[in-house]
């Protein structure tokens, strides 16, 4: 796994605090020069882009970001417009809101906006996603699955994501919506990838070396199926429960770190934010 990332990422499990301490969004804003840099809010995932734009514009202004712009794409023709590609290229940070992750890929896949996104991610532009904007970051994403259910093969639907982080499947609102069963199913079908489940008001900061830092009040769950010794996933009918042996699970909380290359958490439980330079956001 030589190439882990094509850009610096902050991936949020949804429902991040926007009213009180705003710790995660404050971390997002502190990763750029709040006086000079452009923060671009991409409302592509939502069917209510004006409301989402107003909500995040208010929060980011409260966090002292001076230059906030909005990328609103509601059809594929708009994703081919040079002005929208130029918006992507002008931003130092791009923030994907929640909604439906399949809207993002279906609206911008193969377009000028997508090409611009890949280009800036390679150059180190910080890309942030929350909820649906989190799931779309990986090269394979979950688009539908049963919450609070045992893992079952045919209840899960997956599709290609943006591919900004390689060899992982990301799920969000994880503990709050009981999604461990559907992520386990995704890993059973793709044991070579790492499953990452992120709680609400919780996120991961991923640098280009594949080092993850957990931030926020909840937990992040890393499911490693590379050493699976048995699974019946290829034998199942739709209503049968999945059987898996030798699955590895790591649960990390605020300040814990994880190495994507080694698929292993760091031995130290905590590390100071002062030890992490902004270059590794």
246 secondary structure, DSSP code:
S
Distance CA 280, CA 258 (A): 14
pLDDT of residue 275: 47
pLDDT of residue 274 exceeding 70? no
Distance CA 30, CA 37 (A): 11
pLDDT, greater one: 2 or 162? 162
Summarize pLDDT for 125-170 with one digit per residue, the tens: 999 999 999 999 999 999 989 888 888 877 789 999 999 999 999 9
38, 62, 82, 93, 250 from 228: Cα distances, Å: 45, 47, 47, 38, 15
Buried residues in 237-252 as b, exposed as e (16+ CB within 10 A):
eeeeebebeebeebeb
pLDDT of residue 277: 43
What percent of the chain lies above the pLDDT cut of 90?
81
Distance CA 44, CA 25 (A): 19
The band of 279, judged by pLDDT with boundaries at 50, 70 and 90, is very low
Distance CA 102, CA 108 (A): 10
Which domains, and CATH codes, for the chain? 8-263 (3.40.50.880)
Closest residue by Cα to residue 107 from 142, 77, 133: 77
Within 136-230, residue ranges assigned H as helices are 180-189
DSSP codes, 120-159 = HHHHT-EEEEETHHHHTTBSEEEEE--SSS--BGGG-EEE
Chain mean pLDDT for the chain: 91
Give mean pLDDT, residues 73-81: 98
As annotated, the active-site residues are 131, 173, 200
The band of 2, judged by pLDDT with boundaries at 50, 70 and 90, is very low
Least confident of 14-28, 55-69, 152-166, 263-277: 263-277
Least confident of 2-16, 50-64, 198-212: 2-16
Closest residue by Cα to residue 156 from 144, 169, 171, 172: 144
The band of 74, judged by pLDDT with boundaries at 50, 70 and 90, is very high
Element (H, E) at 212: strand 211-216
Summarize pLDDT for 204-252 with one digit per residue, the tens: 999 988 999 999 999 999 999 999 999 988 876 667 889 999 999 999 9
pLDDT of residue 176 exceeding 90? yes
pLDDT of residue 7: 57
């Amino acid at each position: 796994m030589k190439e882990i990332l094509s850009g610096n990422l902050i991936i949020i499990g949804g429902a991040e605090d926007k009213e009180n301490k705003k710790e995660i969004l404050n971390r997002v804003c502190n990763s750029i020069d709040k006086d000079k840099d452009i923060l671009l809010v991409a409302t592509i995932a939502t069917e209510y882009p004006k409301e989402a734009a107003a909500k995040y514009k208010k929060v980011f202004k409260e966090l002292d970001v001076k230059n906030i712009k909005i990328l609103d794409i509601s059809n594929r023709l708009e994703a081919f417009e040079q002005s929208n590609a130029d918006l992507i290229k002008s931003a130092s940070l791009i923030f994907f809101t929640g909604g439906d992750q399949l809207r993002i890929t279906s609206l911008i896949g193969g377009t000028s906006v997508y090409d611009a996104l890949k280009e800036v991610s390679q150059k180190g532009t910080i890309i942030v996603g929350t909820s649906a904007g989190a799931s779309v970051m990986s090269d394979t994403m979950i688009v539908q699955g049963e919450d609070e259910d045992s893992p079952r093969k045919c209840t899960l639907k997956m599709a290609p994501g943006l591919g900004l982080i390689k060899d992982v499947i990301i799920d969000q609102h994880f503990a709050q919506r009981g999604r461990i069963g559907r992520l386990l199913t995704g890993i059973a079908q793709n044991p070579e990838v790492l499953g990452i489940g992120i709680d609400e008001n919780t996120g991961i900061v991923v640098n280009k070396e594949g080092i993850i830092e957990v931030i926020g009040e909840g937990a992040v769950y890393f499911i490693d199926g590379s050493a699976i010794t048995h699974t019946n996933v290829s034998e199942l009918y739709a209503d049968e429960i999945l059987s898996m042996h030798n699955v590895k699970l790591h649960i990390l909380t605020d300040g814990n770190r994880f190495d994507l290359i080694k698929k292993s958490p760091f031995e130290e439980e905590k590390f100071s934010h002062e030890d992490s330079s902004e270059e590794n956001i």
